[in-house]
Structure 1
Amino acid sequence: MPRPLLHSARKSLQWLTVSLGVLTLAVVSTAVEQGTSVEGRLLPPHMRGAIPWKTISADQMGKGTTAPADTNVIIQIPDDAKQMTLDVLTGYRGKDIRFWGYCFPENYDRDSALTKKRFPGTVFLSKRERELRLEQQMNLRQQHFTVENNLTEEDLNQERVYRGSIRHQQEVFRGGTSCFLMTERPLPIGTDNDKDRANTAIERDVGSDPQNADTDADGVQDGAETFFLATNPVLRDSDGDGLIDGIEDKNFNGRRDLDETDATKWDTDADGLCDGLCKVEKGQKLRGEDKNINGVLDEGEFNPLLIDSDGDDILDLQEVFVCELGGGTDC
């Protein structure tokens, strides 16, 4: 592309980005102050009512709610809300769902902001949105790649302004903040005052207590159980193997480490014996690898991570059967 034409294209793209940004800013800020009835005065006739508006109040955020898809959403985070990350605010949906938004600064002045070329606050993009934008940017570079000589400082500055206008900026959200949000699919949003990394919408859906970081008192926080460990935050023993989830996840980090049993599986090593101590044969017998269900490999117990704990080429379950057939009482 000839240099003058390339320069003109960059100027046009920059103007379009800034113009759309100012329009969105005007609509959102006015809606925050006066409600969405002003949409007709800010948008051209063919766009009026095309995209609906929804305001989510601080009270709704505190209880947990859903941001609808393909809607201009204004969210108001309660003043007393604890600090939370974007992942927590949006229920860890960012890796799968495209959404973007914009938060107003505390000292926001609309009239002053509309005279500037850039947003006065900060933009946030979901991980999926960032990935797609980067992919699009790389495709454009490959399609229109050209070698230019003697780039001026003005050219370089224009390029930086364009890239900055879509860059993810905000990761932490505090109480009292108002934000604009648009998502391609419904998004569970809410606050997290018990600091368990599960917002109020998520806790409402799974049945956990939004005021208690560890609803079932198993030692693992509700958010870790819901999003990382994949256990039930309202059941102490999610897999029914006799060991509470906090014993199986010894360090309470929400991940299964190499020296831990699987809190989602009754029998981690698949040897036929449950990891803890379980009723079998219609409740007539108790069998298991951890007889005192303390999560420690004590003398006389089988290793729940090995099908042949003592390495004698006889599987643990077979040893139990041999013991029972021989009249053993502590098998």
Structure 2
Amino acid sequence: MKNRKSISLIMRGELTLAGVLVVIFFASLVFAEKVEQEDSTGTDPRAFSSKFMPYYLYTELENGTKVNQFDLFGMYAFNPKLVMMYDWPVIKDTDYGSLDLFKQTGGLGSFSDISSSGSTTGFGDLNLRFLYKPDTWAGNYLEEGKSWNLMPGIELNLPTASDDVLGADTTTIAPMLTFVTDLPGGPPFGLGFLVLMNVYDFDVDEGNAGSDVERLRGRWFWMQPLSRPGPSLGDGLYMLTEFQPVYNFRTDDFDFWFGPEFGKIIKDGQIAYIKPGVGFDREKDDRKFTFEIGYRYFF
């Protein structure tokens, strides 16, 4: 029974991924245009260029659960106005061994996919995000070279995980609205920009292990260059600080996560970064600590 369930989940994930790839392929034939690179660090969401940005992420939850994952993350620009971002944990290990329930019982009841050691390994849910950049939702400041954009979009979370415990087993759709603006003034702070991405998540389909989803989620970024691009070790440094406030309508809970990203431009089109993060006002299933390390490559 367990093997049949695992095979079914794997097939569902593979079919979903195959369908997404087919859609991407035909959309690229119809919509794709040459898109010039506009962003030296790969952090400005207004720069609709194709990028490949794999990363490793360690997450520790308040209840003691530990997650290690390697994600294929990237951006595909169909044209200068439409972009798609994908994020798929192709290797994901979730360890429940520190949970009190697991220590007491040696298992988690119906979660039979978890081994006796408390961990399970496979791949996770696929996340897709589409952003549109209309010309009419943009403007310039009085200062020369300063601009702002308002971009609508939609985010999809597809239950492609190889095991229920490696994903949400729930299909969610999230309309989103992103505001990006250059910071006013001159150097150094005037070289940065601010991103306010606001997302409303809700579920449209629940699997056997899924749950209701309705939450308001912010992803707010402050990008600040720390040094000019150049060949020296101290050149090409930047800091991208992220704030994530989340309000869950189903449980009436609020949590907050903060993560500063420190990156360096290795050379044109290649960036390496690290990103520690910490959660505040946490419930048992919220993030306590995270650490991310990644690489960005521009096509």
- Please indicate, yes or no, whether the TM-score normalized by the shorter chain is above 0.5: no
Normalized per residue, the structure richer in helix is 1
Provide TM-score, normalisation by structure 1.
Answer: 0.25
Which one has the largest radius of gyration?
1
TM-score by length of 2: 0.27
